[in-house]
Amino acid sequence: MFLANLPVEKQEAFLNLAYTMVYADGRLDAAEKKLFDSYKLEIDVDFSKAHAVDFAEELAAFDDSSVTEKTGVFFELYAIALIDEAYPDEEKVLVDIMQKRFGITDAKMQEMRDGLKTLTDAYKKLAKIVES
């Protein structure tokens, strides 16, 4: 949702961060896979090259990014951690690293959680409308 305007190098860094977040707990959840695959519509990089990275080091690719870019990248990665409604310690560690690096407040994280819930609830409601 917030990645299309990033330069290719940052899109590649994001993809590797997303891959790392998806597999942080050692398993691929269906909701995480669906969200990860949705990035194919938004970013123009080779998904076959996605791989796990040192999360803190890869975040450095965004050090010169605007606050808006950092917040967008944070939201997308945070959404991966939350989308499957499980939030294991391995994901919490990565989110904490990212929160500190990007200077995201706890209040902003709550806003993001609330926004993601509203979005997913809307999709569920639409699915029910279509199915009935």
What pLDDT, in 10s, does the model give residues 46-69? Answer: 999 999 999 999 999 999 999 999
Q: What is the pLDDT of residue 86?
A: 81
Do the Cβ atoms of 81 and 94 come closer than 8 Å?
yes
Say if residue 10's pLDDT is above 90: yes
- Dihedrals φ, ψ of 116, to 5°? -65, -40
What is the secondary structure of 52-74 as a DSSP string?
Answer: ---HHHHHGGGTTS-HHHHHHHH
For the chain, how big is the Rg over CA atoms in Å? 15
Which pLDDT score, from 0 to 100, does residue 22 have? 94
Torsion sign over Cα 33, 18, 90, 116:
negative
Q: In the prediction, which pLDDT does 2 show?
A: 85
Residue 65: CB atoms within 10 A of its CB come to: 16
Q: What is the pLDDT of residue 85?
A: 81
Q: Six-digit token pair at 73?
A: 């990248």
The model carries a pTM of 0.91
Measured CA to CA, the distance from residue 92 to residue 105 in angstroms comes to 15
User: What are the pLDDT digits (tens) for 75-112?
Assistant: 999 999 999 888 889 999 999 999 999 999 999 999 99
**pLDDT for 1 beyond 90:** no
Give the pLDDT band of residue 23 (cuts 50, 70, 90): very high
